[in-house]
A and B are shown apart, each in its own frame.
Chain A
Amino acid sequence: NAGVTQTPKFQVLKTGQSMTLQCAQDMNHNSMYWYRQDPGMGLRLIYYSASEGTTDKGEVPNGYNVSRLNKREFSLRLESAAPSQTSVYFCASSEKREISEAFFGQGTRLTVV
């Protein structure tokens, strides 16, 4: 009954360090998403993948890269972390159909110092 699993749950980075946030879903969903959440700004889409093998930029893609490794996994990479990337990151997945709700992971709290 895992749903969407994100790792790690917490991370502290120094400015300029790199890291990859991992996400996996076991619901056989085609579409996967990465959002960031900052106080007073709701959730903003960073990148999404409508299906295996495709990725597209969302609202705030700068400073990030993604990889849709297979249908289950969608990773988010910060190549050179900046304090502005301090945020809570959520991975989500949904069915690729016209109307579908998204299911969210538990989030990764990232602090860049």
Chain B
Amino acid sequence: EDKVVQSPLSLVVHEGDTVTLNCSYEVTNFRSLLWYKQEKKAPTFLFMLTSSGIEKKSGRLSSILDKKELSSILNITATQTGDSAIYLCAVTGGTSYGKLTFGQGTILTVHP
């Protein structure tokens, strides 16, 4: 059974801090690892990491995939209150195209 574990489960920081969120996984025939940001409603896509693309960056957010350690980190630098959200990590693998297995999520709270 595929498994994804995120840590920490919650994190409280102040504006300007840098945070690192962790995601570890066990999946048969790994295909991709995805990061989503969820504010009040639907999760919105941030990054997808694969064997051919193990590092992604967008503005203050960046993510790295470590296939040897079966893990990924999501870094957010110079945090802002608008970064407050649940960050979800998911993996795809096996024979079911596109089926995502999610971790529990990390609740990030950024105080002014």
Q: Do A and B bind each other?
A: yes
Residues of A within 8 A of B (CB): 4, 31, 33, 35, 40-45, 48, 50, 56, 58-59, 90, 92, 94-107
- Asked if B105 and A90 sit within 8 Å, CB to CB, the answer is no
Chain A minimum-CB-distance residue to B44:
A104
Number of A-B contacts (CB under 8 A): 71
Interface size for B (C-beta < 8 A) is 26
Q: Interface digits, B77-96 against A, CB 8 Å rule (1 contact, 0 not)?
A: 00000000000101010001
Contact of B48 among A44, A92, A101 (CB under 8 A): A101
A56-B96, A97-B97, A100-B98 known; A42 and B105 CB under 8 Å? Answer: yes
Is there contact, CB below 8 Å, between A106 and B41?
Answer: yes
Does B101 make an interface contact (CB < 8 A)? yes
Query: A42-B103, A45-B100, A50-B97 given as contacts; is B88 within 8 A of A99 (CB)?
Result: no
